[in-house]
Chain A
Amino acid sequence: MRELISKWVFPFKGDWMKVEKISRLQLFYLMTGFVLGTAMILGLGHEAKQDSWIFILIGMSSSLIIMAVYTQLASYYPGDSLAQMLPKLLGKFLSYPIILLYIFHFTYSAARGSRELGELIDSTILSETPLVVIIGSFMALMVYCLRGGVETFGRMAEIVFPIYLFSLILIWILLFSVDQFSLKNLTPILGNGVTPVLKKAVPTAINFPFGETIVVLLFFPFLTHNGPVRKICMSFLLVGGVLLTINSIMLIAILGPEIYNFDLFSLLSATQMVSVADFLERFDALVILLMVSGVFFKVGGFILAAAIATSHLFKLKQTRSVVLGLGTIIVPLSSITALSYVEHLEFGFKFYVPYVHTVLQIILPILFLCIAFIRKKLGSK
């Protein structure tokens, strides 16, 4: 038994196993999947109605600036993760609670992602299965996968993301065949002017899902070649944002702004309208594939980030035991934080994303960057 446990925690002994590494391509796949993740299922910018695609574009372009802040911060401390650079930046005592705050943010976000998946599966295909079974089995998969650390996750992304993209594009092609498809649904574009959309988009659209890519700060130390990362980070934001924009245009064109606004799982509703030659119907399976793999990236990214932050904070040699612990916490956390799905969404969109996200993903990083900048200036003198 003891041997089994130690094998689980340290599957590869000795220096035969090379240090965990992740390539740039893997990081790109992983993070694009991370951006799309739950956003693809939930749909973004419901409150902006037919202008939600502009809402997403605004969110994406502003998040590029935030990403510049992240990468600049990383370039001051090359080879360090967020949890390693903060003590150097703020000192030991101030940095500990902040890192803990981030760890909690990541853990809770992972729990949110799992809850969304669970609700979706529960309300669409497995209506009689308890939520905890769905989330629990998903978490078992996550823990097993993340046992191999960044490397396994990166390789999974390399295999799963192309399939993900392929099925997404396939769904779009199929959506064209729907009779109700009409671009007129998108009009009037910016009927009330830019300001209302802008007001709604900042900071919500930046924070979810683009601002969440702050987790990338914890993956940088594992990149195969150290070097400038800005290009790759910008590109996954751009690709993810463009895909989300196209998706929301497609969905609005089919469902119309009103239904798009109220539907909880708009992509699924749109796909259910597809019928090719009266024979090929119900491509729900593809949507479920999209959902599971999207949430896989999202939740996996968060858990991994939390695990890396924890292991760096407490100077552990591995993340495997942390992942196991986090997995055990997340399953109950995802169910107890909200009584119903509506409450869950309400809390998310009314409180968590606008306030907590803004503090952790916009204000604090900018503050860190300022401090780092000043420190560097002082240090060079």
Chain B
Amino acid sequence: MRFFKRQKKLPALLQEQSENNPLSGNLEEDLNRFKQLFEGAADFSYRELQIGSNYSAVVLYLNGLVDMERMELNVIQPLISRNEELLQHPKPALDQFKGVLNASQVVQVETFQTIVDQLLAGGTIVLINTFKKVLVISEQKWEQRSIDEPVSEAVVLGPREGFTENIRTNTSMIRRRLKTTKLKLEYLKLGNLSQTNVVITYLEGIADVSIVEEVRSRLNRIDIDAIEDSSYIVEFIEDEPFSVFPQVLQTERPDRLAGNLLEGRIGIIVDNSPFALIVPVTFFQMMNSPEDYYGRFIMTTFIRLIRYLFLLIALLFPSIYIAVTTFHQELLPTNLLFSVAASRDKVPFPAVIEALLMEITFEALREAGLRLPRPIGSTVSIVGALVIGQSAVEAGIVSAPLVIVVATTGIASFMFPSYPLTGAIRLLRFFMIFMAGTLGFYGILLGVFFILAHLVQLRSFGVPYLAPLAPFHFNNMKDIIIRVPWWKMNERPHETGKSNLKRMNYKPRKY
């Protein structure tokens, strides 16, 4: 089949050219080299200094990435203040210059490329003449969003802090929750141009070694120019990229990530993204809200049952309505049938078209509500409520029962704690409407079987997506549809925490 394979010749990738020529030691020459490299970059700044009479130096930094105050205090001042020891020394080593500086993190760097990388990452470079090495001081500081309440995963009970765009802040939030040396944070860089910091975090001894290795290798295989958000990574590492179901959990909550680490899962934190990724993940985890673990367990169990009920409603309600009104009128009790038939009397469309119209309008309203500037947002809901809800029914375009169906479905689809899962259910709803419109109740059954067959084939990093339901594992069912009290959760989930199952000693509530 080589015959058909035609490869286009693409131009070479735009990449940082790595320059490996060492520095010359001549200050003028080296400075020119940097100037040339950063030509046209307005944030590139430098300051020339004179140290004593023998030495001159240049401090290089990128404006906006460096804490100017501290740099002045800790780098520039010590260098230009006449340090007696340094001046008296006939031929001071670079280490002695380093000793003068007050910054906490100073390293000597030799290779040109590393220097440039450090500079781009917000480091301050001190070039001193006659030396082929430079000093790199890490005094980064930039404006950033403060720690905020997570918007996408709000809870009533439980911690209110969410991840920010700064990876250091994010890792610190995890570290504060798991003060153990077992917590590993592996750094790596992704993206040819963006050079984004990515951290793989897991608990050693709990997380499955082979899954950690798989995460590492999948991340290292990513070849992309820039990563703007962790969602970029999701599509690269998913097992089944063509599935509508999310196979990676995205969370804004450090407490959720920490809780998942304790269950043997692996977190991926990406710089400039407030969403951390959790793998491997199962369907039922997507259906769990972090609040489930903070609320009382009886109430939580009840809420979970409601959630699964509404999962079915969100997926099936419009299609059942269509199947019943189009194919199986006899399934309705007579009185109900009369009232539905009476309201459908004036409607000129078949039920499928009617439902599709309403569902698409609802999706449009929802999208418009999200995108519109806040002040106009209320207009959309008024238009939606009045035009769609009332006028359309009065005008006889759609029937009133369908409005109820669509509204219930809409509310139901807001119930899922995981936003990507909501998307999957919304898409599949249209698939189900199509199935019901063509084959009635039989079509709905086939559609559900299709979805199930898809779900049981899915895997997230080798873990079956529907575990522990299929393959069935009784012990793990305690945190799926019901939630047992915390003192009963003495084992980690089997599929991820196999290497260290025991969570607590089995002495529940010993007073």
User: Within the assembled complex, what's the spacing in Å between the Cα atoms of A151 and B107?
Assistant: 55
- Residues of B close to A280: CB separation below 8 A: 333
Separation in Å of the B334 CB from the closest CB of chain A?
A: 9
Q: When the two chains form their complex, are residues A121 and B442 in contact, meaning their CB atoms are under 8 A apart?
A: yes
For residue B109, CB closer than 8 A to chain A, the reply is no
- Choose among A147, A152, A159, A288 the residue that contacts B445 (Cβ–Cβ < 8 A): A288
For residue A129, CB closer than 8 A to chain B, the reply is yes
Closest 6 CB pairs of A and B: A155-B470, A145-B453, A155-B456, A148-B457, A158-B470, A292-B445
Q: When the two chains form their complex, are residues A281 and B453 in contact, meaning their CB atoms are under 8 A apart?
A: no
Beyond A133-B439, A152-B456, 6 additional contacts (C-beta under 8 Å) are A11-B240, A23-B471, A148-B456, A152-B457, A159-B456, A284-B330
Separation in Å of the A217 CB from the closest CB of chain B?
A: 23
Encoded as 1 (CB less than 8 Å from any A CB) or 0, chain B from 393 to 436 comes to: 00000000000000000000000000000000000000000000
Q: When the two chains form their complex, are residues A125 and B440 in contact, meaning their CB atoms are under 8 A apart?
A: yes
- Choose among A144, A288, A292 the residue that contacts B453 (Cβ–Cβ < 8 A): A144
- Choose among A147, A158, A296 the residue that contacts B472 (Cβ–Cβ < 8 A): A158
For residue B328, CB closer than 8 A to chain A, the reply is yes
- Residues of A close to B462: CB separation below 8 A: 16-18
Q: With a 10 A CB-CB cut-off, give which of B240, B454, B456, B472 has the most chain A CB atoms.
A: B456
Q: When the two chains form their complex, are residues B470 and A2 in contact, meaning their CB atoms are under 8 A apart?
A: no
For residue B308, CB closer than 8 A to chain A, the reply is no
Measured as residues with beta carbon below 8 angstroms from the partner, the interface class of chain B is 20 to 34
Residue of A nearest to B328 (CB): A125
Residue of A nearest to B324 (CB): A285
Q: When the two chains form their complex, are residues B331 and A285 in contact, meaning their CB atoms are under 8 A apart?
A: yes
19 A-B residue pairs with CB within 8 Å: A11-B457, A16-B462, A23-B472, A26-B471, A26-B472, A126-B327, A133-B439, A134-B439, A138-B446, A155-B466, A156-B453, A158-B472, A159-B452, A159-B469, A285-B328, A288-B445, A292-B449, A293-B449, A296-B449
For residue B450, CB closer than 8 A to chain A, the reply is yes
For residue A189, CB closer than 8 A to chain B, the reply is no
Known: A141-B446, A279-B333, A288-B445. A16 touches B214 (CB 8 A): yes
Residue of A nearest to B442 (CB): A121
Chain B at the A interface: mostly helix, strand, loop or mixed?
helix
For residue B151, CB closer than 8 A to chain A, the reply is no
Measured as residues with beta carbon below 8 angstroms from the partner, the interface class of chain A is 35 or more
| A-B pairs with beta carbons under 8 A, tally | 92
User: Within the assembled complex, what's the spacing in Å between the Cα atoms of A133 and B439?
Assistant: 9
Residues in chain A within 8 A of chain B (CB atoms): 2, 11-12, 16-18, 23, 25-26, 121, 125-126, 129, 133-134, 137-138, 141, 144-145, 147-148, 152, 154-156, 158-160, 279-282, 284-285, 288-289, 292-293, 296
- Residues of A close to B214: CB separation below 8 A: 16
Q: When the two chains form their complex, are residues B449 and A158 in contact, meaning their CB atoms are under 8 A apart?
A: no
Encoded as 1 (CB less than 8 Å from any A CB) or 0, chain B from 469 to 489 comes to: 111100000000000000000
Separation in Å of the B247 CB from the closest CB of chain A?
A: 14
- Residues of B close to A156: CB separation below 8 A: 449, 452-453, 456, 470
- Residues of A close to B454: CB separation below 8 A: 144
Separation in Å of the B480 CB from the closest CB of chain A?
A: 13
- Residues of A close to B511: CB separation below 8 A: none
Q: When the two chains form their complex, are residues A25 and B472 in contact, meaning their CB atoms are under 8 A apart?
A: yes
In chain B, positions 331-370 with a C-beta closer than 8 Å to chain A are 331, 333
- Residues of A close to B470: CB separation below 8 A: 155-156, 158-159
